């Protein structure tokens, strides 16, 4: 497993590299946002938001726009970053400095496990992996989405949520169902999380693609009107 560690504080970065290498990870350490964006692909990114050159949030968004690599964000204590913001950045989890090394390794392994499970949960390539709803096309094998033939960039969770809802158009899924099926029970802030993802999905695939059923949950209507 290759980890890209983006940390400018050498007093943290060096022991982190030593410890993570001892845990069996291959560590690629960089100290700036520019270097992070130029780094080769990794299996997981550990990103300190306080970088000397670029805003860590910009780096996070940029990495997320390029790939679905799991990202754990590191924030300083008291830094005004809430969970909703982290989700908007496309981060998978976060740790607050100072963090314990054991805790960090546990988080890394949990995030890697989740992303591997997501991949295993995809249907076999030979099956019918494509979902078509109106102008929306969702390919579960390649995890690519197009709207009226144009590619749409989604975060991994946005994709999971859309694929889940669109798998059975017209079916109403309750909030509880969605949270337990799309997120795992270890996820934090479930209610708000779901709304944030629904809102960002609507911005990307059109407001009519996902219908709110008041007091119940959400559905992807059979034939959403052209946005």
Name the minimum Å distance from CB 138 to Ca ion.
38
DSSP state of 178: H
Say whether 200 sits in a helix, a strand or coil.
helix
Closer to Ca ion by CB, 94 or 187: give it: 94
Q: Is 50 in the site for Ca ion (CB under 5 A)?
A: yes
Q: Is 195 in the site for Ca ion (CB under 5 A)?
A: no
Closer to Ca ion by CB, 14 or 184: give it: 14
Q: Is 88 in the site for Ca ion (CB under 5 A)?
A: no
Name the minimum Å distance from CB 50 to Ca ion.
4
Distance CA 186, CA 15 (A): 28
Closer to Ca ion by CB, 9 or 43: give it: 9
Distance CA 54, CA 59 (A): 7
Name the minimum Å distance from CB 122 to Ca ion.
36
Alpha helix (H) residue ranges in 24-143: 33-38, 56-66, 83-89, 101-120
Distance CA 129, CA 143 (A): 9
How many residues touch Ca ion under the rule CB under 5 A: the total is 3
Name the minimum Å distance from CB 55 to Ca ion.
12
Q: Is 62 in the site for Ca ion (CB under 5 A)?
A: no
Q: Find the helix or strand (DSSP H, E) in which 133 lies.
A: strand 130-133
Closer to Ca ion by CB, 73 or 194: give it: 73
Name the minimum Å distance from CB 8 to Ca ion.
5
Q: Is 48 in the site for Ca ion (CB under 5 A)?
A: yes
Chain length of the chain? 227
SS3 for 145-169 is EEECCEEECCCHHHHHHHHHHHCCC
Q: Is 6 in the site for Ca ion (CB under 5 A)?
A: no
Asked if residues 126 and 117 have their Cβ atoms less than 8 Å apart, the reply is: no
Residue nearest to Ca ion (CB): 50
When binding is defined by CB under 5 A, the residue of 1, 2, 8, 175 that contacts Ca ion is 8
Closer to Ca ion by CB, 8 or 43: give it: 8
Distance CA 162, CA 57 (A): 24
The footprint of Ca ion (CB under 5 A) covers 8, 48, 50
């Amino acid at each position: 497993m290759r980890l890209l560690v983006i940390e400018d504080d050498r007093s943290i970065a060096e022991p982190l590299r030593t410890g993570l290498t001892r845990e069996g990870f291959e560590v690629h350490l960089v100290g700036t946002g520019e270097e992070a964006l130029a780094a080769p692909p990794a299996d997981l990114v550990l990103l300190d938001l306080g970088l000397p050159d670029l805003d860590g949030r910009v780096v996070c968004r940029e990495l997320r726009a390029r790939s679905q690599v799991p990202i754990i964000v590191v924030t300083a204590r008291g830094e005004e970053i809430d969970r909703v913001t982290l989700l908007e950045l496309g981060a998978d989890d976060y740790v607050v400095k100072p963090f314990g090394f054991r805790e960090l390794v546990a988080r890394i392994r949990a995030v890697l496990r989740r992303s591997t499970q997501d991949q295993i949960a995809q249907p076999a390539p030979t099956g019918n992996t494509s979902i078509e709803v109106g102008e929306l096309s969702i390919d579960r094998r390649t995890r690519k989405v197009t709207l009226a033939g144009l590619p749409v960039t989604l975060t991994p969770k946005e994709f999971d949520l859309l694929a889940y809802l669109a798998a059975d158009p017209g079916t109403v899924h309750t909030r509880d169902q969605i949270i337990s099926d799309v997120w795992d029970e270890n996820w934090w802030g479930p209610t708000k999380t779901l709304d944030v993802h629904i809102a960002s999905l609507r911005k990307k695939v059109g407001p009519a693609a996902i219908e709110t059923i008041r007091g119940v949950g959400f559905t992807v209507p059979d034939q959403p009107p052209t946005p």
